Amino acid sequence: MTTLARASIIISLGNFANFLVSAGKSIVVAKYFGTGNELDSFFIAYIPFLILNGILVSSMQYSIIPVIVDLSEKGEERMGILLFNSFFTLSVIIFLSLGVLMFLFSESIVGLLAPGFGTEKTRLAGKILRIISPAIVISGASEIINSLFHSKRKFGLPIFGGLVNISLSFLYLLIFLYQGIHALAFGMVLGSCAQCGISLWGAYRERMGVALTYRFANVGFPLVFHNLVPMFLSILFTNVNLAVDQIMASVLPAGSVSALNYASNMNNIFHQVFIYSIGSAVLPFLSHYVAKGNLVEMKNTFKLGIRVVFYILLPITIIILIVGEPVVELVFQRGVFDNYSTLFVSNAWKAFSLGMIAMGVGILGVRILTALQMTKVLAYISFFNIFMNVTLNWVLMKFYGHVGIALSTSISYLVSSILIMVSIYKIIGDMQLEELLIPLKKILYWASLSGIVNYIVLFLLSFIQSRIFAALFSAMIGLSLYLIVSWKEKSMEFQIIVDNLRFKDKPA
């Protein structure tokens, strides 16, 4: 079994375990907090953590990994450790400073993030932000340490630490439910402490030499910061819109922020699970072809990636549009999460799902632009994406409320993905995208056929009392038909996914 296959197995199992625990936690949160004011306050207080961990920390991780690997391959491992410790020390100083600022000015920060909140909601969100401010420092330090494990191709311990984090926060919530929404915040801090402890213990056990230092490396930093900008912009493209959406939803009726968060998390399940699969099957080849100057193979691989994105995400989008509401009812509707909450969340989920394919294609394009070191292009598109999302939010939320915000995010991803495709065309020449028309037409035909069957079966089963069973059964029939037809037609996209699930490393 190859190294890539072993890594894929570890990451896949870890992600799946993480998903199960996160799903259980979300169900409990929905039962006891629904889509009310308390949960709105928590999600607004969570935005600084989301921005720092989801964007800043991730971009830092991916910036330092290639530099450490390069130094190690050149036999300068000690210099690599000194560089890491310098970067780690600087990161801890930054996180600590930000954490202190968030603790001291929590209510002012909440006031900026949620201008539509009343006094009580602002005060509650400020208190929650003060509670979780240590987690921003602790989690940030832990994730930077994990980047050292990744540079050495050791994925097990970081994934285990993440699983312990979410499990402990879930356990704390179950035990201390009487603390109300504060239990979510305290559990988050507890889980972050445990994860950081596991990372430090693992680094000590592996003798990685992790330490705070006053001696800063004089080489490597320019390369780290050169990588930091494009990675920051790449991650910004896929992460910042959720924060923007929640901030603008704060002026809408109570529950709008929570509904958007539930809907976005439902949507992100498919991005994490299926776009990850696309990455395992296709994306690793892109950087190799760019490095070798083999643009022909890079173009072919990129087009194949687009086909796989459409093949996976188009039928999922159709299924969400048809049976999204019963699925939300099945997963969340219990306790204070009532019929109104189900409708609130499912409508937003359907609107988010319309941009799923565009986001997948955009991620492929961002990878190419990053590999080509087109930092300025990424900057222009990323900031335009944010500007357009804010503008569309402002327009559509007036007519459709929180659903308009979700719809504007989907439109923003569509336009940004088109701009990315145009930019790639200008940089590397004709992509011969007309070659995609025939396979994409086939995928559209198969997905439409499965959707029609799904809808017909759902209609025929409308007489039974359990609409949840009817929705799941009809979706299963439609999806089964889609897979059978694509298998019978010997679809290349179907075969790529099967090979990837078997952990076969085949060239594109």
Cα radius of gyration (the chain) = 23
Phi first, then psi, for residue 281 (nearest 5°) are -85, -35
Contact 300, 508 (CB under 8 A): yes
Enumerate the domain spans of the chain: 1-219
What is the structure's pLDDT at 451? Answer: 93
What is the structure's pLDDT at 266? Answer: 86
Q: What is the distance, to the nearest Å, from the Cα of residue 29 to the centroid of all Cα atoms in its chain?
A: 20
Distance CA 83, CA 398 (A): 50
For residue 298, give Cα distances in angstroms to 164, 279, 368, 499.
Answer: 39, 14, 9, 20
DSSP 36: S
**Amino acid at residue number 22:** S
Distance CA 26, CA 23 (A): 5
CA dihedral 2, 497, 59, 135 (to 10 degrees): -90
Distance CA 245, CA 409 (A): 8
What is the structure's pLDDT at 51? Answer: 79
pLDDT tens digits, 134-150: 998 898 888 888 877 77
Dihedral sign, CA of 453, 454, 459, 463? positive
What is the structure's pLDDT at 506? Answer: 44
Q: Which residues of the chain have pLDDT under 70?
A: 1-15, 54, 56, 58-63, 65-66, 69-70, 73, 151, 153, 155, 215-231, 233-239, 272-293, 370-371, 373, 375, 433, 496-508
Residue 73, C-beta contacts closer than 8 angstroms, at least 6 positions apart: none
Residue 286, C-beta contacts closer than 8 angstroms, at least 6 positions apart: 298, 301, 302, 305, 367, 368, 371
What is the structure's pLDDT at 414? Answer: 93
What is the structure's pLDDT at 397? Answer: 94
Distance CA 109, CA 103 (A): 10
Helix pair angle (356-371, 295-332), 10° resolution: 140
